[in-house]
Chain A
Amino acid sequence: MTDIINLTLTELVNKIKSKEISSTDITSNYIERSKSSKKLNTYIEETFDDALVNSKKFDAKPDLQKKLPGIPIAVKDLYCTKNVKTTAGSKILENFVPSYESTVTQNLWNSGAILLGKLNCDEFAMGSSNETSHFGNVLSPIDNNLVPGGSSGGSASALAAKLTPATIGTDTGGSIRQPASFTGTVGLKPTYGSCSRYGIVAFASSLDQAGPMTRDVKDCALLLEVISSFDNKDSTSIDFKRPNYFSDLNKNIKGKKIGIPKEYRVEGMPAEIEKLWDNGKEYLKNCGAEIIDISLPHTKYALPTYYIVAPAEASSNLARYDGVKYGFRVEGENLIDMYEKTRSQGFGDEVKRRIMIGTYVLSSGYYDAYYLKAQKVRKLIKNDFDEAFNKVDAILTPSTPSSAFKVGEKMDDPVSMYLNDIFTVPVNLAGLPGISIPAGLDENNYPLGLQLIGKPFDEQGILNIAYSMEEKINFKLNTSDWWNK
């Protein structure tokens, strides 16, 4: 039944509904493949036994009205899952077992999905290569010794390696879109406030969003429809009429105006990415869309702004990991000693570095110069987009300034690692929806992605455009299964 793992999420759902295959068939196939793919290090926690039990339960009494009937899904280990260990990729939570479920994962289970396991990620979602996880780095199925991107690296790798039919990640500065781009998959970051943050281990509260990661755009629309919901347990959740993203998906983008921001043509960007971007424009024109040059003048300030705002919020969000209530503790001579030892040994280097940056920018005497300044620039960045969206319906950019890099290549140079998110970060700062779709390969046959940025709450708009482009691009992800040999 190797066919099963090659089916898309939508195809699986259809075959379950038509009773061609059972949930147990699907689940056991994915478990088998996951078991033989340990080299990729995608899972932190496997719940295979429970998944099988649940799939059998489903088959015994199938509810085919559900949107994800009996579909096994592995999720990023940033989502709290009831009675299943949740680590956020950190030693400080290595033994933490929540007694509660995140809203987004609850939405999955309510739709009939079954948990396969918890996927590796950068520690507290801080990283762009999945090398900061306490549980070891994740390898990309694309090539030996290649990073899958981050922070949802385990999710992207598991998805691309077909260890799960679809998955969910979280995106604070590009953590869904960048790994999707690196692994030839589709990843969408919804508008801030679309998906509930309740039960997701927080990194930077004003930027974090959950989102689907899938093999194609159709799957993406289906999964978004399931996970996006209004939640009164999250004060930043927004109560708007959510469309039926899946059934409303269409390729009619005639007359849509697509903006091309000149500031995204950054120095040193490889020619192949320029080419990819130009191809994207052509595809869109062929679909009847109109290409318009626009300007987002504050783009170059987005990353520095992000590296003030995100660490500042993180430094405060991560203060609760103090060894008192849950997780890892190192005993000390006194309370302060215990805190300092626990946090020093419980957090990895990148997390500590960001906590320190955040603490510094908020500290007395520096608040105005850094944090307040960043909030003001964030406003300017948002204004840029507001203005652009007066002229266009969506914006097309490359997803990343380069393709995936080798393991260890950027670990010693934080700034060069941060630069990876140059095209994705502005979208989080402005709270907009963004989707990355695979658009081609570089000279090494590594995937490259294009990003579509939409107006607030116009996920449907960018999904439709992505859907049209996908057909024209006709990207086929081929992994050699190198890790399986």
Chain B
Amino acid sequence: MKKDQYLIEKNGNNYEVVIGLEVHAQVLSKSKLFSNSATKFGSEPNTQVSLVDAAFPGMLPVINEFCIRQAVKTGIGLNAKINKKSIFDRKNYFYADLPQGYQISQYKDPIVGEGSIVLDLPSGPKTIGIERLHLEQDAGKSIHDIDPSSTLVDLNRSGVALMEIVSKPDLRSPEEVNLYIKKLRSIMRYLGTCDGNMQEGSLRADVNVSVRKLGSDKFGTRCEIKNVNSIKFMQMAIEYEANRQAELLEEGGIIDQETRLFDTKKNQTRSMRSKEDAHDYRYFPDPDLLPLEFDDQFIEDIKSEIPELPDQKKDRFIEKFKLSPYEATILVSDLETSKYFEKVIKNSDVKLSANWITGELFALLNEKNIEIDQSPISPENLSKLINLITDGTISGKIAKTLFVEMSNGDQDPKKIVEEKGLKQQSDPKELEKIIDKVILDNPDNVQKYKSGKDKLFGFFVGQVMKASSGKANPKIVNDILKKKL
């Protein structure tokens, strides 16, 4: 058993959890996959629905080139094989929010084949295989809670392009799932192919979970938990489901391969009622569409648009800026964060910049529950703040006060320092006066210090800082104090 391995224990038996994810990522595009209506989130119901989206008789799909490019781009970001020929199939089933009675998807021949994602685990990197990525249409939305007697259907989302990204069953714990989703989202955000906004449903996943006795190399029967829309829920669902399956096996039961739903109120998974009607999707190539084909040049053009991706950026940060892998991982995990960091270090010390961003700034953003691109402190002003520390104008402690001050309205730290007189006192003569007074005022402690109570040194520093309203340069204070005592 490896250290930190995630296992489910039942009656002294350890079960390993095997997880595969089918992530549905909404493609960032202005218009839908096969129609020219808008994709904007949060519009009035049924106001972004074309005749094609509502499947009127005689309406036909015409593919959006940008969505194809986005899928190829994502495939390149996942180090995956790009298929120059792929086929759109119809997946046939009836549902209220599926106006065509079929979803146009890709079944046997997806646009993107095998690839991989590297996770940064505490124990080291782990590669998770990507099985495939294909393009498909999203369905509309059924709303059950407006009208007590009916279900209402909004087709605004109907026909929006999705990328279904299928992982291999390489994930082994809720934490790995967390890291996988975050990494995938980060890559897509870097590429600009999906905004990854889980609240708005632009990233959702079907989670396949099975368990097996530790040491077994055979996969157990899996259950698919449909349409989970937050990492937290995915983790809870996996935990519940793995325990349920392990318990069932311990009792000598058999796991049904089935589709389950995660009930976010009860924190449980349950079998979907509609399963009585066994699914038979009757996939076949959509005769309204021809095979999707493009040449090497098409792929090369997209390759030339690929920005530096998180893994490359991380390597560069470590190499060039001598950051620790840990710091680098945090700073590249989000494109906006990395951009912010690179702006700050243009004129400032790298190490301090990394500390301030991952420390004070992240805490502030967390507290305000906002993203870094909405940060009340601009990278330029944070850089100025850091420079005030490095050139000795202010102390680290003052800097923290200043930071709070700045967060109320992104003011120039230099200005605040001047206006409020926060400048550090570094003049040894001035400081000597204060120190002399502190020594004079505390004869008992001086005595104790001299008799070996070294710890009291801090007390003197504190007194000096207090007397100088925190402005004294701690380094110089230290030097003088050591001499005087």
A and B touch in the complex (CB under 8 A): yes
- Interface residues of A, Cβ cutoff 8 Å to B: 80, 86, 88, 93, 96, 98-100, 102, 197-202, 204-206, 232-236, 312-313, 315-316, 318-320, 322, 324-326, 335-336, 339, 359, 362-364, 367, 371
**In the bound complex, CA of A335 to CA of B98 (Å):** 13
Contacts of B102 in A (CB 8 A): 316, 319
Contacts of B128 in A (CB 8 A): none
Contacts of A364 in B (CB 8 A): 280, 282
**Known: A316-B102, A319-B102, A339-B94. Contact between A326 and B284, CB under 8 A?**
no
**Known: A199-B58, A201-B57, A335-B151. Contact between A235 and B290, CB under 8 A?**
yes
Contacts of A363 in B (CB 8 A): 280, 282
Contacts of B58 in A (CB 8 A): 80, 98, 102, 197-202
Q: Is the CB of B288 within 8 A of A236?
A: yes
**In the bound complex, CA of A86 to CA of B101 (Å):** 20
- Interface: B392 (CB within 8 A): no
Q: Which 3 A-B pairs have CB atoms at the shortest separation, nearest pair first?
A: A319-B101, A205-B287, A362-B282
Q: Is the CB of B92 within 8 A of A198?
A: no
**In the bound complex, CA of A325 to CA of B55 (Å):** 9
Q: Is the CB of B57 within 8 A of A202?
A: yes
The minimal Cβ–Cβ distance linking A420 to chain B, given in whole angstroms, is 24
Contacts of B288 in A (CB 8 A): 202, 205, 235-236
Closest to A372 in B: B284
Q: Is the CB of A100 within 8 A of B60?
A: no
Q: Is the CB of B287 within 8 A of A320?
A: no
Q: Is the CB of B63 within 8 A of A322?
A: no
Q: Is the CB of B55 within 8 A of A320?
A: yes
Q: Number of residue pairs across A and B with beta carbons under 8 Å?
A: 98
Q: Which of B97-127 contact A (CB under 8 A)?
A: 99-102
Q: Is the CB of B287 within 8 A of A206?
A: yes
Q: Is the CB of B101 within 8 A of A320?
A: yes
The minimal Cβ–Cβ distance linking A104 to chain B, given in whole angstroms, is 10
The minimal Cβ–Cβ distance linking B96 to chain A, given in whole angstroms, is 6
- Interface: B289 (CB within 8 A): yes
Contact with A along B277-309 (1 / 0, CB 8 A): 100101110111110000000000000000000
**In the bound complex, CA of A335 to CA of B153 (Å):** 12
Closest to B36 in A: A233
Contacts of B283 in A (CB 8 A): 362, 367
- Interface: B90 (CB within 8 A): yes
Q: Is the CB of B284 within 8 A of A100?
A: no
Closest to A365 in B: B280
Q: Is the CB of B57 within 8 A of A204?
A: no
**In the bound complex, CA of A99 to CA of B54 (Å):** 13
Please classify the interface of chain A as helix (H, G, I), strand (E, B), loop, or mixed, using the class held by over half of its residues.
loop
14 contacts between A and B (CB under 8 A): A98-B57, A100-B51, A200-B58, A201-B57, A202-B58, A206-B287, A236-B288, A316-B282, A320-B55, A320-B57, A325-B55, A336-B94, A336-B277, A339-B94
Contacts of A325 in B (CB 8 A): 54-56, 99
Q: Is the CB of A235 within 8 A of B54?
A: no
Contacts of B61 in A (CB 8 A): 235
- Interface: B485 (CB within 8 A): no
Q: Is the CB of A359 within 8 A of B282?
A: yes
Contacts of B153 in A (CB 8 A): 324
- Interface: B62 (CB within 8 A): yes
Q: Which of B240-290 contact A (CB under 8 A)?
A: 277, 280, 282-284, 286-290
**In the bound complex, CA of A235 to CA of B287 (Å):** 10
Count residues of B near A (Cβ-Cβ below 8 Å).
31
Q: Is the CB of A335 within 8 A of B60?
A: no
The minimal Cβ–Cβ distance linking A300 to chain B, given in whole angstroms, is 24
**Known: A320-B57, A336-B277. Contact between A235 and B282, CB under 8 A?**
no
Contacts of A199 in B (CB 8 A): 58-59
Known: A98-B56, A197-B58, A322-B101. 7 other contacts (CB 8 A): A93-B57, A98-B57, A205-B288, A233-B62, A235-B63, A313-B287, A335-B151
The minimal Cβ–Cβ distance linking A284 to chain B, given in whole angstroms, is 35
**Most A-side CB within 10 Å, residue of B54, B61, B101, B290:** B101
The minimal Cβ–Cβ distance linking A305 to chain B, given in whole angstroms, is 14
**In the bound complex, CA of A313 to CA of B92 (Å):** 11
Closest to A339 in B: B94
Contacts of A102 in B (CB 8 A): 58
**In the bound complex, CA of A205 to CA of B92 (Å):** 16
The minimal Cβ–Cβ distance linking B479 to chain A, given in whole angstroms, is 79
**Most B-side CB within 10 Å, residue of A96, A98, A324:** A324
Q: Is the CB of A316 within 8 A of B101?
A: yes
**Most A-side CB within 10 Å, residue of B96, B280, B284:** B284
- Interface residues of B, Cβ cutoff 8 Å to A: 51, 54-63, 90, 92, 94, 96, 99-102, 151, 153, 277, 280, 282-284, 286-290
**Known: A235-B289, A236-B290, A339-B94. Contact between A316 and B284, CB under 8 A?**
yes
Closest to A334 in B: B151
**In the bound complex, CA of A102 to CA of B60 (Å):** 11
Q: Is the CB of A324 within 8 A of B96?
A: yes
**In the bound complex, CA of A312 to CA of B60 (Å):** 18
**Known: A359-B282, A364-B280. Contact between A319 and B94, CB under 8 A?**
yes
**Known: A320-B100, A325-B54. Contact between A198 and B60, CB under 8 A?**
yes
**In the bound complex, CA of A100 to CA of B50 (Å):** 11
**In the bound complex, CA of A205 to CA of B287 (Å):** 6
Contacts of A202 in B (CB 8 A): 57-58, 288
**Most A-side CB within 10 Å, residue of B63, B90, B277:** B90
Q: Is the CB of A319 within 8 A of B100?
A: yes
Closest to A208 in B: B287
**In the bound complex, CA of A328 to CA of B63 (Å):** 31
Closest to A93 in B: B57
**In the bound complex, CA of A427 to CA of B51 (Å):** 31
Q: Is the CB of B99 within 8 A of A367?
A: no
**In the bound complex, CA of A233 to CA of B56 (Å):** 14
Q: Is the CB of A326 within 8 A of B287?
A: no
Q: Is the CB of B57 within 8 A of A235?
A: no
Contacts of B63 in A (CB 8 A): 235
Contacts of A235 in B (CB 8 A): 60-63, 288-290
**In the bound complex, CA of A316 to CA of B55 (Å):** 12
Closest to A360 in B: B282
Closest to A319 in B: B101
Contacts of A205 in B (CB 8 A): 286-288
Closest to A232 in B: B62
**In the bound complex, CA of A93 to CA of B58 (Å):** 13
**In the bound complex, CA of A78 to CA of B320 (Å):** 68
**In the bound complex, CA of A326 to CA of B102 (Å):** 17
Closest to A313 in B: B287
**In the bound complex, CA of A234 to CA of B61 (Å):** 7
**In the bound complex, CA of A362 to CA of B107 (Å):** 14
**Known: A339-B94, A363-B282. Contact between A204 and B55, CB under 8 A?**
no
Contacts of B62 in A (CB 8 A): 232-235
**In the bound complex, CA of A212 to CA of B23 (Å):** 49
The residue that B60 contacts in the complex, of A88, A206, A233, A315, with Cβ under 8 A, is A233
The minimal Cβ–Cβ distance linking A365 to chain B, given in whole angstroms, is 9
**In the bound complex, CA of A76 to CA of B136 (Å):** 34
**Known: A235-B288, A324-B99, A364-B280. Contact between A197 and B60, CB under 8 A?**
yes
**In the bound complex, CA of A406 to CA of B419 (Å):** 104
Closest to A326 in B: B56
**In the bound complex, CA of A298 to CA of B284 (Å):** 24
Closest to B288 in A: A205
Closest to B151 in A: A335
Contacts of A100 in B (CB 8 A): 51, 56
Contacts of B151 in A (CB 8 A): 335
Contacts of B280 in A (CB 8 A): 363-364
The minimal Cβ–Cβ distance linking B151 to chain A, given in whole angstroms, is 7
The minimal Cβ–Cβ distance linking B107 to chain A, given in whole angstroms, is 11
Contacts of B92 in A (CB 8 A): 315-316, 319, 362
**In the bound complex, CA of A354 to CA of B280 (Å):** 18
**In the bound complex, CA of A201 to CA of B58 (Å):** 4
Closest to B289 in A: A235
Closest to B278 in A: A364
